[in-house]
Structure 1
């Protein structure tokens, strides 16, 4: 038995299901370690019995349903009244269903398991987090799961699913973006691994085609990405938003696994193409899904997390490469490449728990499902009756009816109608412009660039990893402020900043050609890091947000697909040319990125409309399309009138349905 150390002295906790079993054990241990505990349990007698065992004033009990918002509010009030604060919430309560085949389980039993095992996480965070944040307390949530979440037991499939949902809530949304960031960036450190260059005979002087083959490792990846980006529009419409995420993940698993197992350069290059194809799919599938399930006021933040996790994938790839550099043999490069399969494999396993996009469901005439999903994902404690979700749904429904009258949602319609062609051009330029900053060239050939300013070997790999790590913070800044400052303004700041730091970088590189200086080398490094700071904080995530929201629902998947082709076309052109260009003209290659970045500032100011805080349906107005309802500008009086209209519409539909049945 563990000794009691008093490490929880002064802490206050709520433990659900603390009247028996594991929960009672947790309560007793917390109290023994000096904590005060409120037991929240549906069985009041059991809870009071455990509380009575504790020293006077150390424990209290309350009867409550963990799936009830009201009971969580009562628990918070009581713990504050009894103990004066709260530090820890232990979501321990859980139930099993009757053991047996899934087909024998009735809906009532399924709902009971899901409600108790999963919904308590939702209400505990909804009720408790505002207390933690408003009182500046570093609160902690401990969610009790089960090995069944990862390793289901026979005849308890839905209990396993409910426990797996706990894990999915914590891990799932990060995986698609992380997969893209890691797969796109891991080649940067791989090209600096001596064992990789030795195995494939890619050192200058050993293979006359070394430079061309190194360029091909990036060129084929970007070519695959371009084809994947063009395919994601069809996949997302044909197989659903969730289905496209599954397909993307499967391609990434195959490409990453066989890339790590490559036995010759031909196999490696083919698998780089396959992995690029998967990346092109996933980089479109994730922000498309995110934009369609996010409420208007926080869409920038939620889609912006795509950029945060891409940056995290970049950083992880860099540091994995740094960690494996001292290793001997082929594991030095095979291990980092093999890790590409981990996150898409987890994504495949977790997609089951995601709701489908309500806008895609509406496209398929699955209206009841669309409304149910929208109510669930846009629920707000300030709007318990779900009025906003209902208004949003009917605005979507009416807008979709307008959109259907305007066209049939084909690629041809995107390029033949002026208002849609404007969207395509803006979306394409947004993604192509981001690559015209030279960021991917710096990322993928970072080891070479750092060698040019006097840093080589493991130091160069460490600098590459540090460079991409900056992008995590930068993208997070975007997600926090892009809904306030605006998409276009953010990009203007970013492209202006990048133009300035690239000018500084070019000056340093030009000076280093004639004289070696530690100060000039340090300045060159400073400007490279300044480049990623501006790119990640103002451009990276912002471009995905902007391109994913400017198209109407019936064209969004295909429009985003064409927009993302700009990303991969730019990446293909610039990275394929980079090895030869850097070898032939050196720093002069950066002049292209300076000119294009400066030009893009002008284009942004003149032609790009601002989309912040508008619903996806309202953005149509910016391109001259008719819209059904402007929810962002609706007054309380108009909202009431809209609610009456909705009720009348629903009543009419019910009457028609009744008459049809008669």
Structure 2
């Protein structure tokens, strides 16, 4: 039996109407992003990312302070270069220590540790009376920088909703550059002081932003992932409810974290006993990640490691650290004389 075009067209319209009607409740079920939750997650990420200011400040302030240090302490070029470049080695040690500390006491407390260590290092450098004491201050400062650059992006990623995670984790790099700017401002602000005092104030004043950071951290929640690792599901659920776009996302994020922590999906309560894991299980995870990752994970690793490697390979920190001395060697003495007054 042949169907007329008019009848076929009418039935097609009816079918389209039924499909649209069926899709309408589903579309209405999609909830818009909770702006209040986004603001809360934004604030938490902002506060945590401010920890990386300490790295930028040290790089920026040392570029100008080095001129005064060399003149005041009468040190050689080699000693000066060691003092300026050794921070990266100390920061590497601090990042390894910070990783263990953050798993032990939590991400938030680790940020406080980072701020406290950097504050101590800044004061040691500010009150240094000789090169040896200055190097001790550099060591302590480097450990604090390592703690900060490790924990800030970890906390930010763990507290951020999926829709804004990439945006919020970029704050760590933003605040490194803010710190460099503050270091330059410090150079300019205290350049008119006597040269034996100016560099001490430039370095010592770095304790102020790190001390303020330590106070701000107490208004931040703990990382939901760390809370789950400690079996505190109720606390993790509360944090996720405040930092997720929708209630459904909060539930999904909690399930994913529980699965990663080895907690059965049906195990639900305010506080649960974490399943015991064998000592070699963590090593096995690292082996799989490094030696036999999935194709998707391999691309992620290459992108992440490649970006950071080539960023440092450009020597951008060296340009910042040595630019005043480069200007001086190039014969641009007006700016240098202006710094020294």
Aligned equivalents of 1:406, 1:294: Cα separation in 2: 30
Preserved CA contact (<8 Å) 1:176 1:343: no
Match of residue 396, structure 1, among 244, 249, 257:
257
Q: Which residue of 2 aligns with 1:201?
A: 74
CA deviation after TM superposition for structure 1 residue 191, in Å: 1.3
CA 1:336–1:355 in 2, change beyond 3 Å: closer, same or farther? same
What secondary structure does 1:410 align onto?
Answer: helix
**1:287 maps to 2:180:** no
Preserved CA contact (<8 Å) 2:110 2:151: yes
What secondary structure does 1:330 align onto?
Answer: helix
Aligned equivalents of 2:88, 2:188: Cα separation in 1: 24
Q: Which residue of 1 aligns with 2:309?
A: 432
After TM superposition, list the pairs within 5 Å mapping 1:178-257 onto structure 2: 178-193=53-68, 196-202=69-75, 210-257=76-123
Aligned equivalents of 1:402, 1:461: Cα separation in 2: 63
After TM superposition, list the pairs within 5 Å mapping 1:145-156 onto structure 2: none
Q: Which residue of 2 aligns with 1:337?
A: 203
Q: Which residue of 2 aligns with 1:266?
A: 132
Preserved CA contact (<8 Å) 1:447 1:460: no
Aligned equivalents of 1:442, 1:318: Cα separation in 2: 14
Unaligned 5+ segments in structure 1 are 1-122, 130-164, 203-209, 463-662
Map Cα deviations across residues 272-315 of structure 1 (whole Å, 9 max, x no partner).
11101110111111111001101111111111111111111101
RMSD, aligned CA: 3.3
Q: Which residue of 2 aligns with 1:140?
A: none
Preserved CA contact (<8 Å) 2:57 2:176: yes
CA deviation after TM superposition for structure 1 residue 368, in Å: 1.5
CA deviation after TM superposition for structure 1 residue 415, in Å: 4.0
CA deviation after TM superposition for structure 1 residue 458, in Å: 2.7
Q: Which residue of 2 aligns with 1:499?
A: none
Q: Which residue of 1 aligns with 2:322?
A: 445
Aligned equivalents of 1:376, 1:395: Cα separation in 2: 17
Match of residue 282, structure 2, among 410, 413, 424:
410
What secondary structure does 2:206 align onto?
Answer: helix
What secondary structure does 2:81 align onto?
Answer: helix
Preserved CA contact (<8 Å) 1:228 1:281: yes
Q: Which residue of 2 aligns with 1:304?
A: 170
Map Cα deviations across residues 355-374 of structure 1 (whole Å, 9 max, x no partner).
11111111112111111110
Aligned equivalents of 2:156, 2:46: Cα separation in 1: 15
Aligned equivalents of 2:212, 2:97: Cα separation in 1: 23
CA deviation after TM superposition for structure 1 residue 444, in Å: 0.8
Q: Which residue of 1 aligns with 2:240?
A: 374
Preserved CA contact (<8 Å) 1:450 1:460: no
After TM superposition, list the pairs within 5 Å mapping 1:81-96 onto structure 2: none
Q: Which residue of 1 aligns with 2:333?
A: 456
Unaligned 5+ segments in structure 2 are 1-33, 265-274
Map Cα deviations across residues 233-267 of structure 1 (whole Å, 9 max, x no partner).
21111121112112111111111101110000111
CA 1:266–1:219 in 2, change beyond 3 Å: closer, same or farther? same
What secondary structure does 1:353 align onto?
Answer: coil
CA deviation after TM superposition for structure 1 residue 429, in Å: 4.3
Map Cα deviations across residues 193-215 of structure 1 (whole Å, 9 max, x no partner).
3xx3222113xxxxxxx111011
Equivalenced residue count is: 287
What secondary structure does 1:445 align onto?
Answer: helix
CA 1:409–1:440 in 2, change beyond 3 Å: closer, same or farther? farther
CA deviation after TM superposition for structure 1 residue 389, in Å: 1.5
Preserved CA contact (<8 Å) 2:93 2:146: yes
**1:316 maps to 2:193:** no
After TM superposition, list the pairs within 5 Å mapping 1:71-82 onto structure 2: none
CA deviation after TM superposition for structure 1 residue 456, in Å: 3.2
Aligned equivalents of 1:324, 1:313: Cα separation in 2: 16
After TM superposition, list the pairs within 5 Å mapping 1:621-640 onto structure 2: none
After TM superposition, list the pairs within 5 Å mapping 1:129-140 onto structure 2: none
Aligned equivalents of 2:206, 2:97: Cα separation in 1: 22
Preserved CA contact (<8 Å) 2:45 2:169: no
Give the structure-2-normalised TM-score. Answer: 0.74
Aligned equivalents of 1:439, 1:275: Cα separation in 2: 20
Aligned equivalents of 2:222, 2:171: Cα separation in 1: 19
CA deviation after TM superposition for structure 1 residue 169, in Å: 7.6
Q: Which segment is superposed worse, 407-416 or 363-372?
A: 407-416
Give the structure-1-normalised TM-score. Answer: 0.40
Preserved CA contact (<8 Å) 1:221 1:272: yes
Structure with more of its chain in helix, by fraction: 2
